[in-house]
Amino acid sequence: RHVADFQLSVASVIENSSGDCLAQDLHLQAQQLAERLQCDSVVSAISAGPGTVNFTINRELLAKTVLQQVWKDGSEYGVKSELFSTVPRQKAVVEFSSPNIAKKFHIGHLRSTIVGNFIANLKVALGHEVVRINYLGDWGMQFGLLGVGFQSFGNKEKLKSSPLQHLFEVYVQINKAAEDENTKKLAKDFFRKLEEHDEQALSIWKQFRDLSIEEYVRIYKRLGVHFDEYSGESFYQEKAQEVLKMLEDKGLLQKTIKGTGVVDLSEKKDLSTVSTVMRSDGTSLYITRQFLIISFRDLAAAIDRMNKHSWDTMIYVTDKSQSNHFQHLFQILKLMGYDWAERCQHVSFGLVQGMKTRRGEVVFLEDVLNEVRSRMLQNMTSTKTTKETQDPVETAEKVGLAALIIQDFRGLLSSDYQFSWERALQSRGDTGVFLQYTHARLHSLEQMHGNAELTDVNVSCLQEPDAVSVLQHLLRYDEVLYRSSQDLQPKHIVSYLLTLSHLAAVAHKTLPVKGSAPAVAQARLCLFHAARSVLANGMKLLGITPVTQM
């Protein structure tokens, strides 16, 4: 079956071709145009379709150009395309993950982590400078409760060995006790001490924070994620006061009858859309982002990052329930006179239902990683075709993570979806396991037959339809990268890689290397090398580490 490489719709080039232009007219015009065009050294065939003119590229030229380009550009293949030649190199700040210390690391945090990591990876690959920031929930009344709770239920050994779990346990226990008025008072006192910079209270808080970050770093490493900066609400205590003063000086802060501080965001200035920034008792609100509440800290953090990093774009990656919050944050910054607020962006994502581990609800990120590893390991040991891998546990983790990421990235980020372990970990179909399996197979093909050398490849050996399909697909990689760079959606890359894997799997069957004439074997090896190289590049962008054995 012959598939044209490029297609021209005749309707798009005919002046005043309105909808009343009949199909047979268009077909006739397509035929007339096709007859007038001539082939050359690039275009080897021109034909007419229903209202279209189809062009076929010289097959040898296609093979030679694609293979040389993939070989030459390596990990930068697609990125060096002229599609990106006019895109200015910029500095981007990406805030993502941002869990609350001593609270659950829920599935929303996991989504934020992998989506933010993808956006940062893509920007870096395209030559931009990126600062990855984790904005921790590391301040507030919860630390008053924790401080008191630790005196009653804390254990220094447990805090050192598993800080996230131990602080969570302490927090759960003290919350049960917090019904008691005396406990509430003690917690308030402890938090007041923190706000007044009491040395002893601060050193306890700092220990909680530092040990938590140490453990986060270790767990993020398993995910293949790193941060340039662990920031947090605690950084912006003093700066939040400065923001308050700025809002007052600019006459933007208004008091309602109840004494609550609001910023009027309505067009008619009739308080029909307001953003509450201060409680009536004068304290700045924490980020209960569900309400129209902007904490001064978020404003202070945005201003501080601009001063510190002079970024061109700042991206916040959180779930879509916080869309209002960010809309208001950007509006207030603009009212304060910061025009760069227009270069802030909220990338939102939908909710994931039904992700549970065998132990029940997800409480810690590590639970998810352990679950995916153990399930994958079980699948691998029960599969007859599984070869002995050098490090099965490590492989299971990488393959399992690929499964998680692909299941998450297949649709639009803003859509909610139902999570399923069974579906995610299937080895056939459009899954991360299939991508890893394809990569490992192509890698072992290269190991078995030695590395291909491009210098002596006879491209006329790559004329079969299955080889051409792979080459055509490789040629389009830059367009897919461009689409994802425009809307920051990973799904374009995901569907591209799944199709590439299906095409490569078919070619692997129909175009054997073993037993073919040397020139044919060498050409095919080159084709499979190119497919594996592009597959690996795309997987790495998504945050997946390609495995070489499975």
Q: Which residues are identified as catalytic? A: 103, 106, 109
The one-letter amino acid at 499: T
Q: Would you call 399 exposed, middle or buried from its count of C-beta atoms within 10 A (0-12, 13-18, 19+)?
A: buried
* CA gap 498, 496 in Å, rounded: 6
Question: How many H helices and E strands in the chain?
Answer: 19, 15
Q: Which two tokens stand for residue 115?
A: 């989506």
CA end-to-end distance (rounded Å), the chain: 34
Q: Chain centroid to CA 515: how far?
A: 43
* CA gap 334, 353 in Å, rounded: 36
Q: Which residues contact 437 (CB under 8 A, 6 or more apart)?
A: 427, 550
* CA gap 316, 96 in Å, rounded: 6
* CA gap 459, 439 in Å, rounded: 23
* CA gap 477, 497 in Å, rounded: 9
Q: Are 481 and 399 in contact (CB under 8 A)?
A: no
Q: Chain centroid to CA 41: how far?
A: 42
Q: Are 442 and 528 in contact (CB under 8 A)?
A: yes
